[in-house]
Every structure is written in C-alpha cells, then in structure tokens.
Structure 1
C-alpha cells in the first residue's frame, strides 16, 4: 500500500468520525491506488463500489485538506464521478 493511500485511509476515517454511508464509495487516486468507504469506514480496497470518484493525488490531497471544494473540483473537471451521484454528494459534504 502506498503512503498516499495509507494517509488517505487515516484522514478519511477521521473525517467520517463515526458517520456511515448507505452504500459504498471508492476513491481512485491515480497512480497510487484506491480507498473504499462503506458502513465499516475507510479501507485500502479496490473492490467494486456504488460510486467511484477518480482524481489525481494532488486533487485528492486538496480535497482532504479542505483547500478544494468537491463540487468545484467536479465542475472544473479535476475529478470524475462514476455511478451513484447522491453518494458522491454525501461524501462531498463529509469532506467539506
């Protein structure tokens, strides 16, 4: 597991702070790996998910650090979403 993915798992679990999702979301961090969020929290996992969010390492870090708004990132083409848009919006609100 890359340091980026390991750091993302820790940061996402801290941001979730006990919140759960009705479904699963996978963050694909280009050239680094994947992080999956489901009812058990965030884990380094590349299995199928209801929603897939794809972004570069830099964009993903900016999202986690609160330097980039998830909606702005999507609208500007810095991240791509496949699947359940409602789940993507819920995760976006958790990151904000």
Structure 2
C-alpha cells in the first residue's frame, strides 16, 4: 500500500480518478446508471479511533462507465445510494490485495449487496473486476 490509506477521503477521490482513467471499465460499464456505495464494516481498532461510527461509506456517482464524483462518509448511515455493497474491512483488503475476486466474494457472501438488484449487478461482472483494478491502482 502507498501513502494513501484505505479507507479515507483522499483514497476515495483517487479511486474516482482511476476509474475515469480505466478504458476497460468505461467499456464494461456501458448501461450502468446508478450511484454505488461501498460500506466498510468491522474496522480495525486503529481505524475505530478515527471513525468511531464503525462503518464507513464511499459513494461513487457512476454513470455509463464514468465516475462523476465521490462522497466519503465517516458514518455510512449518513449516506445512501441505489446500490450498496458492504463488506468487512478485512474482506475489502483481500479484494484490494487481489486475494479475493469481487464476484466470488458476492457468491461467498463476503461482499453483500445490501441494496439494489443482484440481477443488475450480475450483468456487469467485468465492470466489477475493472472497478477493483481501479481500486487497486488507487491503493498503490
């Protein structure tokens, strides 16, 4: 991991930027028109000192393969989106480190779709993989 810590506002902004630099995502996400929020729960003790709510939200305004903006919530209950994906901090780290594929994570229940249509999400498996690649790029 680089100097930018996940999860943080800075990381979220770089993530949005990396999505916009990812042409494979742009092509794979044609037809996706909904904001998406990632929730991070079960924070480490270190992170709990910074984020006492215990659950962080990163909301991306995703539209037709672009990230039009990002919001970072120190308390995920303050934010909402059409699609909400939630996972523990450890699961997110495994996804970011490339140890866990996002589609596998959903099938194993490690990544939960808290809100939104699973059928819609499953129409965009390659977009999900490209989003993870952009997240990995933000973490370097």
Under TM normalisation by the shorter chain, which class is it? 0.7 to 0.9
Q: Which runs of 5+ in 1 are unaligned?
A: none
Secondary structure in 1 matching 2:7: helix
User: Taking CA–CA contacts closer than 8 Å with sequence separation of 6 or more, which of the two structures ends up with the larger relative contact order?
Assistant: 2
TM-score by length of 2: 0.54
Q: Which one has a bigger Cα radius of gyration?
A: 2
TM-score by length of 1: 0.73
Q: State the Cα distance separating 1:33 from its structure 2 match.
A: 0.7
CA shift digits 1:39-70 (9 cap, x unpaired): 42333044221100010001112222322100
The runs of at least 4 aligned residues of structure 1 exceeding 6 Å deviation read: none
CA shift digits 1:6-54 (9 cap, x unpaired): 1651552254134585210011100341100114233304422110001
For 1:66, the equivalent position in structure 2 comes to 98
Q: Distance in 2 between matches of 1:58 and 1:8?
A: 17
What's the C-alpha RMSD, in Å, of the aligned pairs?
2.7
